[in-house]
Amino acid sequence: MKDQYFGDFGDYQKISLLKTLRNIGGFKIVVHWMKAKDDGSSDGKYIGYLSDSTRWLQYDPEVFSFIKSKIDSGSKRSVIHIEQSPLMKRIKFISDYIYDDKDRSEMHQGIIKDKSCDLVFFDPDNGIEVKSITRKTKYKYLLWEEIMETYKAGKNLLVYQHFGRQNREAFISQKTKEIAKATKAIVYSIQVKHSVYFLILHKQYLSNAEKVLRVYSNHWQALAHIRKMCMHISSSA
C-alpha cells in the first residue's frame, strides 16, 4: 500500500469491505498496510468516480461521502485519513513503512502475538508471493510463510491481490487453490472492480463470514463477485 493510492476506487470497495466485516461479522480487525513509499507513478489515479455521485454514491454512501470530502478538500492523499475516520472505529492499523527484513519480521511477530484480533488484512502492493520475487521486489508481496504463520496462530486473513496478466477467472481459481492447498483453510475470493481479495477462514468463523459476504454482495451487486471455490478443513480448524 502507498499513500498515493488513497481515495481511488479500490479504497471505496476496500473500506466498505472492512466496515462490513466489523459491523456484520463482528470481526476484530488489524490492518497491515505493508506500507511502501510513494513512487511518483500514476498509480492511484482512479478517482474520477467521485465526480459522478449519481452513479457511484449508492453502493456505500457513508464511504463514498467520506472519500469525496477528503479528495475535494485538497488534503494530501494518505492512508492516515482512513485510520482516523470514524468509519474505521475499533480497527487497528499497522502503518509503519517496511524498510528491511528486520522491520518486517518485527511487525509480523507483533501481529502473531496480538490476542485482541481475529482477522488480519494484509494490503501488499501486488499480492501473494510469486516465483519471480527478488530481494528488491519482496516488499510488494505477502510471503507464503507469513500466510502460514498467521493462520496457524488462529487468525483469519484477508489478502489484497493485484490481477496477473492471465485471464482473471483462471488467475483467481489458481490462486484460491494454491491458498487452500497450503493452509487447508476455507477460502473465499471476492472479486471487485480492479482487484481481488482472498478471505482465508477457520471453520468456526464461517457463519459470520457468510453473513458479511451476503451483505457485501447485496450492496455491490455486479461489482463484487464472490466465490467459495475450495473448502479444505484442517483437523485443528
Question: 132: exposed, middle or buried (C-beta count within 10 Å: 0-12, 13-18, 19+)?
Answer: exposed
Pairing mode, strands 225-231 and 186-191 = antiparallel
Q: How many Å apart are CA 89 and CA 215, to the nearest integer? A: 20
Residue 221 region by backbone torsions, left for phi larger than 0, else alpha for psi between -120 and 50, else beta:
left
Q: How many Å apart are CA 192 and CA 103, to the nearest integer? A: 31
Contact 237, 205 (CB under 8 A): no
Predicted local distance difference test score (pLDDT) of residue 187: 97
Q: Can you tell me which residue has the cell 516465483?
A: 131
Q: What is the mean pLDDT of the chain?
A: 91
Q: What angle do CA 27, 28, 33 make, to 5 degrees?
A: 110
pTM of the model: 0.92
User: What is the band of 234 on the pLDDT scale with cuts at 50, 70, 90?
Assistant: very low
Predicted local distance difference test score (pLDDT) of residue 233: 44
Pairing mode, strands 156-161 and 196-201 = antiparallel
Residue of 105 and 1 predicted with greater confidence: 105
Instruction: Average the pLDDT over 181-201 and give the result.
Output: 96
Predicted local distance difference test score (pLDDT) of residue 41: 57
Instruction: Average the pLDDT over 50-61 and give the result.
Output: 97
Residue of 20 and 95 predicted with greater confidence: 20
